[in-house]
Structure 1
Amino acid sequence: MIGGGSAGYAAARTARDAGADVAIVDQGPLGGLCILRGCMPTKTILRSAEIMALMKRAREFGLNPVTAQADLSAIVDRKNRLVQEFADYRIAALRDPRFTLYESRAEFLSPHELRAGDGRIRGGAFVIATGSSAAEVAIPGLDEAGYLTSDEMLDVRRQPASLLVLGGGLVAVEFAQFFARIGTKVTMLQRGTTLLSDMDGDIGHALAAAFRDEGIEVMTGVSFQRVSSGSSEKIVHFIQGGAVHTRSAEVIFQALGRRPNLNGLNLKAAGVCVVDGRLVVGGDMRTSQPHIFAVGDVNDLTPIVHLAIEQGETAGFNATHPNEPARVIDHRLDAEVVFTEPQVAVAGMSERQCREKAIPYLTASYPFADHGKAMCLGAVHGFVKLLCRPDDGALLGAQIVGPEAGELIHELIAVMYFHGTAQDLLRIPHYHPTLAEIVTYPAESIVEQMGRA
């Protein structure tokens, strides 16, 4: 295993349990992206901003107002304590004597041999799980002006007065709301037509509306021209709607994507095909070399941790069972959660995917602004949307923008797992008043549409 993050460790554990002799090569720091620089640290700091935002709304709930002021250094300290705890657990697992751990770089010498530090390792199968890094973006003047990526943003201890966020994906929106909620003036510049532009447009529009209500300036459909530096701020020059605009801030956060970590692996010696900077894999996680697999961010398929783990387990099984039918990834239940407020959660197919694949569907949505429990909570941004097959009502996909979306989506994933229908959602008891019962309203609309068809 080359890499001991979530995907690599899952592959190593699966191969070990199948009786294989497993070596893990990881140049460190040990722990993986999710623990060190991804899921866990970001969700930790977002919790601080969520509490602060609620404190600022005290009067809305009939409470005496309080003065909430963020201590960014203390937030970073709390994040570091938790991350170290998570990392210690993973490091102990990697150093389990049932593995052989090489804390060094890995470089292929041939399809069946690689260099790890001063030693050489021969293997019958290899799993590449080296993760990803923030992509470098060619905007004239950006490097000279200076910017921070998500790695550096997690360690910022002096709160910037203003922040320009370049990008509108998952990482961009989570950091943008965090800094806005602790008092930084935030402007988002997104190249796509909406935030989260890889999802259906109504999701991005709903999230942008919530952001604007919190004072975040969101500008979409921009084309970056150049970056310059003023006396105290950095200036981004861009085109939007045919006109030239500028926005300036103390700090630029570059969140325009990530790239697979392939440097130094010498994949040419391994005979592995690389296309446009990423490893091409099949559903069985094999690269162009049948005994070499690639899992997690390095294959640039789905940068989602639970899917990376599934990929690792699939690769670990296939590597150790070459004479059995290969396991393949089933993407029918793919899911993603964005931990903004409102949260965004999607599962299964989107409207865009249905249209692209000419799959017939019925859809219905229902707003949280008209849902009793959400109104009680004061969390009225967003909606629930269902996509179902017209003939039998089978659930094809689900999208939630709203309170606790990351938790609510799991009921819909469970229904999809069992090939359930809109009719099933109506039959399943839903306690009142709960957020969960909102899914019954679009389900009812879809059943009505089926009756009229």
Structure 2
Amino acid sequence: MATQRVHDVIVIGGGSAGYAAARTAREAGADVAIVDRGPLGGLCILRGCMPTKTILRSAEIAALMRRAPEFGLAPVDVRAALSAIVDRKERLVREFADYRIQQLRDPGYTLYEAPASFLSPHLLQVGNDLLTAKAFIIATGSVPRQDVIPDVTLEACVTSDTLLERRDQPESLIVLGAGPVGLEFAQFFARIGTAVTIVQRSAHVLSHLDADVGAAVGAALEEEGLSVMCGAQVRRVGIDGGKPVVRVSRQGTEQTLSGELVLNALGRVPDIAGLNLPAAGVRVDEGRVVVDGAMRTSQPHMFAVGDVTNLYDVVHIAIQQGELAGWNACHPEQAPKSFDDRLVTEVIFTDPQVAVVGLTEKACRRRGIPYLTGSYPFADHGKAMCLGATHGFVKLVAEPSTGALLGAQIVGPEAGELIHELIAVMYYRGTVHDLLRMPHYHPTLAEIVTYPAESIAEQLKA
């Protein structure tokens, strides 16, 4: 017979978003339960941010070592050992995961390690237990998407989840999709010696960003020897002669690509299978849990945060959402706190890196927001030239009457670090004039932001 247990707040999922929600609710004095079917640790630690950035570092070092003659150094014979790279990745991931598991098993929480399924809006089946609570927070994350191409099955593909565990280096790899995940894996394997082909339906890689961003990254990848096929529609993915094949149509012609592996990098979808959300009365639209600005679902006592909402697949945003939901769940009598998307930031760890904050030109046009823009290339920037890192540019988007920053895009060296100066200026609702008044040390990469700021300031004068 099932045991019924009562908590103030039940968080389903112990990843970055879920743990942030649980921690916030506990700090508000709630009796908090965390439900996680395992393995414990969350996507970021186990299969996302941390393992991918670990292996990318190995590839970055290999690529830089191969450039030794460019810097007046003796040539270096660089040979990658994928198994050793995976060993290093697993050591670090285990360390990160152990710390998260220690947090989840803190006696301040009740941890249930079993799948969860709603029986009603107020009753949750977890293993042999029936749980009820004043508030529920859904934070079950995401899984690789399988149904993105009509009439095409992707069973012959590997996913980013499984590719992270591979120890035998493939001779060739076909990557379906040129978003952040696809490009990071493509460049990693190319840099350790795999022949890589990227297949992208849109006209440029990173199609969700401005075209000049995608063009700059695509050109850098092709310069490294990757084959980048944009404007290509996948017609079939299967196995011929024991090897995966991909049939694509491009510019009116069809061709068949063959490789040792095919990576499905066509995105991820909310992981809600098995939750039985219809029984909970939670609205789902095209596979995502629908939430308002307070992270509240269609049920007033239920919230959803992180990838399960399919709004932003970015960890720091998932944490912010979790903290909002945790606070709102424990303060129903107060005006809810809402998520502010003005400073939404994304970093893509290709080389050159890509970093974006706020509005892009594409977003401004779509929303009918007037703007001014200024850009400046790293190829003409002193410190970047010294480093031999001249791909890309910095672009600022500003309000056309005051020069207030609306957004910024950086393609280039250390873009993920450089973007934080622009986040800070936008946080305080600063302008291009503020960027020009702030001292910037010379020679540094950071001083490049003053040049597009100066361009916009000149447009404002005109």
Question: CA offsets, 1:377-421, max 9 Å, x none?
Answer: 000000000000110100000000000000000000000000100
Structure 1 residue 296 corresponds to structure 2 residue 306: yes
Counterparts of 1:355 and 1:227, CA distance in 2: 36
Match of 1:417 among 424, 427, 434: 427
Is the CA contact 2:120–2:279 (under 8 Å) kept in the aligned structure 1? yes
**Where does residue 351 of structure 1 map in the other structure?**
361
Task: Give the Å deviation of 1:192.
Answer: 1.6
Structure 1 residue 62 corresponds to structure 2 residue 66: no
Amino acid at match of 1:180: A
Counterparts of 1:274 and 1:233, CA distance in 2: 38
Task: Give the Å deviation of 1:173.
Answer: 0.4
Give percent identity, aligned residues only: 65
How many residues align? The count is 451
**Where does residue 215 of structure 2 map in the other structure?**
205
Is the CA contact 2:171–2:194 (under 8 Å) kept in the aligned structure 1? yes
Amino acid at match of 2:437: R
**Where does residue 134 of structure 1 map in the other structure?**
144
**Where does residue 37 of structure 2 map in the other structure?**
27
Q: Calculate the TM-score normalised by the size of structure 1.
A: 0.98
Is the CA contact 1:344–1:405 (under 8 Å) kept in the aligned structure 2? yes
Task: Give the Å deviation of 1:231.
Answer: 3.2
Alignment map for 1:245-264 (pairs within 5 Å): 245-264=255-274
Match of 1:88 among 94, 98, 101: 98
Task: Give the Å deviation of 1:141.
Answer: 6.6
Is the CA contact 2:146–2:154 (under 8 Å) kept in the aligned structure 1? no
Is the CA contact 1:139–1:224 (under 8 Å) kept in the aligned structure 2? no
Q: 1:122 to 1:142 in 2, by over 3 A?
A: closer
Counterparts of 2:194 and 2:62, CA distance in 1: 13
Question: CA offsets, 1:326-364, max 9 Å, x none?
Answer: 000000000000001000000000101111111110001
Structure 1 residue 447 corresponds to structure 2 residue 454: no
Structure 1 residue 188 corresponds to structure 2 residue 198: yes
Structure 1 residue ranges without an equivalent (≥5):
none
Is the CA contact 1:25–1:102 (under 8 Å) kept in the aligned structure 2? yes
Match of 1:231 among 241, 261, 265: 241
Counterparts of 1:221 and 1:291, CA distance in 2: 45
**Where does residue 162 of structure 1 map in the other structure?**
172
Match of 2:399 among 389, 408, 422: 389
Is the CA contact 2:142–2:268 (under 8 Å) kept in the aligned structure 1? yes
Is the CA contact 2:12–2:136 (under 8 Å) kept in the aligned structure 1? yes
Q: Calculate the TM-score normalised by the size of structure 2.
A: 0.96
SS at match of 1:392: coil
SS at match of 1:124: strand
SS at match of 1:302: coil
Counterparts of 1:31 and 1:192, CA distance in 2: 34
Question: CA offsets, 1:187-211, max 9 Å, x none?
Answer: 0001122111111111110000000
**Where does residue 97 of structure 1 map in the other structure?**
107
Match of 1:280 among 283, 290, 314: 290
Structure 1 residue 18 corresponds to structure 2 residue 18: no
Amino acid at match of 1:89: Y
Task: Give the Å deviation of 1:234.
Answer: 2.2
Amino acid at match of 2:18: G
**Where does residue 404 of structure 1 map in the other structure?**
414
Task: Give the Å deviation of 1:245.
Answer: 2.1
Structure 2 residue ranges without an equivalent (≥5):
1-10
SS at match of 1:8: helix
Counterparts of 2:239 and 2:103, CA distance in 1: 47
Counterparts of 1:395 and 1:296, CA distance in 2: 27
Match of 1:305 among 298, 311, 315: 315
Task: Give the Å deviation of 1:248.
Answer: 1.5
**Where does residue 329 of structure 1 map in the other structure?**
339
